[in-house]
Chain A
């Protein structure tokens, strides 16, 4: 994985001093909260309902054991002994003191980490495929391109005061595991008909209150022009994106209002100009970065068989491990979704254990997934049983990847000052209600947002839940039929919302309709797409028979 050179290290070290100075000026009163706010946000520091929250960047979700270990230590030292992995492959701490923020950044810098641009109206942490470099279906490892973008976007002088936040994702596989088309810019590294690699640019996707699937605006940007092309996309947005209404300020609204063709025309004109400005890093820089993502030293000729005699282990292998490109290895996903738990939370001890397991079994590498789980990308099959036993003993052995209990949920009204409703208790109730049936129900991606900003990706859930405030009472709307994969689609609202218990009952009815209508190997989503909303709606809103 990527290692900082002295330049990268100097940059994060300078950032620590920079932020310490900003905090000093805020605390001594020379800067108002209004002036401080965008500065702390650009460093991932939010003021939430009860305390400051600090969001730490995990570029493209990749971590070393030492980095994960440090995340655990920070949870103990500055927070309440846990952290929350997010849908953007980052981690956030919910109980931070402003006075400690500089020290936390200094600790992070010792392991080549930071909180730069994890919030604010700037280019955020770039995300990627959590299986990058480990599976056979990718054209190349997408992470070198994401690292190139990380460096270009860090303290970008022109794009630090955009109309609104800006999220980029890079993948290199037709199987989209990063919800690429739901980003402001989604890039897919592709091989064109001539066999050359290039970058397909999808611009103007997003969730929030106006969900949009990004259209393709350029099918194959040459690899050494990814930066000027991105710069052109951003410049058109920075100049013409709406600033009169924060709810219409994302690039998706600009692309929608201009139309894809006119937006593309403006980008291409700006791109042609920028190509005259010599701002593109040479391919040698990409090659330098690529070398650092070279495969680890896989062992050849090792056993490709597995002892499945322990049924609990076999279930976990079937649910939570994925085919690796190297014979004898598997990709392991550690579920952070125990029954009744808070989705995405890990204790300090669990983080340090995962760090150790990465060192022992996975070439010292981990990934954070946008579904709020942790991946050990390269594990020998022969070591899976020992690994699983250690995970299981630490409460990390849930065999529920992509099942109904593998819920994506935002922090909701338990933490977030924007939320209208709580997400966590709903997730906990659903996870408990369906735990015994989740294998029978099969793949079902359930996503919960506590407000219309859609941090819990409810639009893209096979089942989505949106918490709203209805006259001071928490109310939950139900959506069906969303998806974030290569077959991206947006969910449809079933009808009137429910209270906290009612939403769990409604999901129960929806899964019954699926099981009664399921044909062959269909997943919930497939059945929904085949039979449509009506049977689900009939069951969910059917009048209960009245007694007597």
Chain B
């Protein structure tokens, strides 16, 4: 298992192994699930109250389906840990955070100074998401 390198939560990390989306519905005691690019994150919505960890896998960084999966889960009210795993790179971090990811387990270790700089670079955002940041248009018409 790959180490979680960055985590933006204060609760205790879940130790349970993540099961697949397909098997999750049958394993009523599972609390951790792993979403692959082809999975439909909406299949998890009926079970959100018992999920503590969702891992979203990025086998290659250019496959952006995981960004939609994350937003769909957050928009449905999921508040547990949302972890990006796999080919997670410095320049994707800010986008991933905005889509609701709050922990990162990259298969190749990130340079922390670069990661922090990338996350801090854009003081403003044009779009609202569930991350709570106020979009520029709201500030203009505050």
- A residues near B (Cβ < 8 Å) are 5, 7-8, 10-11, 14, 17-18, 21-22, 25, 30, 35, 38-39, 121, 151-152, 154-163, 235, 238-239, 243, 273, 277-279, 281-282, 284-285, 288
Contacts and interface: CB of A to CB of B under 8 A. Distances in A.
Interface in B110-130: 111, 114, 117-118, 121-130
A492 B58 CA distance: 42
A35 B110 CA distance: 13
A247 to B, nearest CB: 16
Nearest to A274: B75
15 contacts: A7-B136, A7-B139, A7-B140, A14-B122, A18-B121, A18-B122, A25-B90, A30-B114, A121-B62, A151-B126, A155-B95, A156-B126, A243-B63, A281-B135, A281-B137
Given A14-B122, A158-B99, A281-B137, A238 B114 contact: no
B18 interface: no
Interface in B54-87: 61-65, 67-69, 71, 75
B75 A278 contact: no
Given A22-B91, A152-B127, A161 B122 contact: no
Contacts, number: 104
B63 A161 contact: yes
A158 B68 contact: yes
Contacts of A158: 64, 67-68, 71, 95, 99, 129
A58 to B, nearest CB: 19
Nearest to B129: A157
Contact of A155 (B75, B111, B126): B126
Nearest to A151: B126
Interface in B91-112: 91-92, 94-96, 98-99, 111
A39 B90 CA distance: 11
B141 A284 contact: yes
B67 A161 contact: yes
B75 A238 contact: no
Contact of B141 (A155, A238, A282): A282
Contacts of A282: 137, 141
Contacts of B129: 157-158, 279
A228 to B, nearest CB: 11
B30 interface: no
A152 B137 CA distance: 10
A285 B137 contact: yes
A10 B140 CA distance: 14
Contact of A288 (B114, B117, B121, B140): B140
B6 interface: no
Contacts of A14: 121-123
B126 A152 contact: yes
